[in-house]
Amino acid sequence: MCGIIGVIHSSEAAEEIFLGLQNLQHRGQDGGGIVTLEENHGFHQHRGTGLLEIAFPPENFKRLQGPIGIGHTRYATTGKKELALLQPFVDEQAGLAIAHNGNILNYHSLRQVVQGQDPDALPSGCDSELVLWELGKLLKRFGYTVEGLTQSIKILSETLVGSYSIVGIVKDVGLVAFRDPHGLRPLIMGRRLDKHGKTMTAFASESAALEFVGYSELENVAPGEVVIITFSGEVIRQQYTQPNIRHCMFEWVYFARVESQLDNLSVYQARFNLGIELAKEVKNSGVTPDIIVPVPETSRIAAIAMAESMGVPFREVLIKNRYVNRTFILESQSARQEAIRRKLYPVASELKDKKVLIVDDSIVRGNTSIKIVELIRKCGAKEIYLASTCPPIQFPCYYGIDFPDRDELLAGKYDHDSLLDVIGVDALIYQSLQGLQGALQSESLCTACLTGNYPTDITEGSAFSKQRVLEREVTV
């Protein structure tokens, strides 16, 4: 998962992008980059590893001049964690820069074709570089005009299999944003007026990033839509292909910021609804907890909704050390386990002799759940139940969320009874698929990791994932 942003017609494009990216930091912490385009001076770029505060020393902004720019914060789902892999990618010759959120599943076969023609092409091993290369090639063929760009994106989309929300700078045209036909990853557009009354436009992965820098009039880029904001201020919106909507349910369940609104549904509202739906499952299970305890931070809203709905006291008794990285997006299993140990502390006095219902957003590899149950047992809890706002995650995700192998997924490996033993709980209650769809007010969701029904061809999915694991093993 990554965060992307693009801005045009701003006198402070780089600064706005940086502030926006900071509000997308949760989507990737490996590194970040900003590219701007300045008339008569070409592209300016800075990329750095680590958190944005570290990656962007203040002096770097001086050279990031120009009224148009794009930015990216990286979470490495493909390729090694190196500076060369940080986005945005720029092709000076093609007059093109892009920032991409998603995964291109047929990357390796497309790369082979490209390297058959030019062995030195696509050196980074990153799928986004392939998108840049293909789009640059198409633009040369169809021309650097609005028509040429939309035609290029239409043809590009016929080649790519996977998930992609993309912002780009195209010389002689302007800022472009487009989203795959399934709308797997979010992409939002916003506008605001500068002090002279001129309209500025921005795109970002989440509404929270746009709102933070003052953009309003927010709208979604639709699945299968391309939006172009030209240098002269024209706005062109075109459905380049038929949509087949499958928004990633995990954006609402876990990934996005709670203050964001994605595809017309507030993340807060979605999580609250998930709690109401999960409370019904808990009631049906027959367990009668004394307290409801959220696993911070993501599940808090659902736990509050459950406490209200069930009339059971809500107790925030797992205290988070906020200076430890979000465990899910740390790279190795050992790094994740160590981070959990350092991340959460229980308030023992509130747990002793209680029947405790722990609420977590999801159970992926189970690291967090197992560790938390262990901690709470040590505090003398009488019984421990675990409820997940997400149904069992049993299948790999090939679209950018880091649970690619079935044998890493707890619910993929064990049946329900075995899971009770493995996690060490007295009851385990999952959200139902219907509950999830009800909470997210949509059946047009990707639920592939729950059901195994993938919205795209996944023939190359496991090869893509295996390659990714191999590449990581080299660096971790």
Residues of this chain that interact with ligand SF4 (CB under 6 A) are 184, 248-250, 397, 399, 401, 446-449
Q: What is the DSSP string of 403-431?
A: ---GGG-HHHH--HHHHHHHHT-SEEEE-
Q: With respect to ligand SF4, which residue has the nearer C-beta, 182 or 192?
A: 182
- Distance, in Å, from the CA atom of 245 to the CA atom of 181, rounded to the nearest integer, reads 7
Helix (H, G, I), strand (E, B) or coil at 159: helix
- Distance, in Å, from the CA atom of 91 to the CA atom of 95, rounded to the nearest integer, reads 6
Terminal C-alpha separation, the chain: 18
Q: Which helix (H) or strand (E) holds 302?
A: helix 300-310
Q: With respect to ligand SF4, which residue has the nearer C-beta, 184 or 228?
A: 184
Q: With respect to ligand SF4, which residue has the nearer C-beta, 173 or 448?
A: 448
Helix (H), strand (E) counts: the chain? 17, 23
Q: With respect to ligand SF4, which residue has the nearer C-beta, 76 or 249?
A: 249
- Distance, in Å, from the CA atom of 405 to the CA atom of 395, rounded to the nearest integer, reads 7
Q: With respect to ligand SF4, which residue has the nearer C-beta, 152 or 205?
A: 205
- Distance, in Å, from the CA atom of 36 to the CA atom of 15, rounded to the nearest integer, reads 11
Cβ 358 vs Cβ 295: under 8 Å: yes
Shortest Cβ 342–ligand SF4 spacing (Å): 26
Q: With respect to ligand SF4, which residue has the nearer C-beta, 338 or 408?
A: 408
Q: Is 2 a catalytic residue?
A: yes
Cβ 329 vs Cβ 359: under 8 Å: no
Cβ 41 vs Cβ 67: under 8 Å: no
Shortest Cβ 327–ligand SF4 spacing (Å): 17
Which position among 2, 126, 248, 390 bears the catalytic label?
2
Residue 40's contacts (CB-CB under 8 Å, 6 or more residues apart) are none
Shortest Cβ 247–ligand SF4 spacing (Å): 8
Closest CA to 283 of 141, 165, 435, 420: 435
- Distance, in Å, from the CA atom of 110 to the CA atom of 108, rounded to the nearest integer, reads 5
- Distance, in Å, from the CA atom of 410 to the CA atom of 389, rounded to the nearest integer, reads 15
Q: With respect to ligand SF4, which residue has the nearer C-beta, 133 or 328?
A: 328
- Distance, in Å, from the CA atom of 195 to the CA atom of 77, rounded to the nearest integer, reads 40
Active site residues: 2
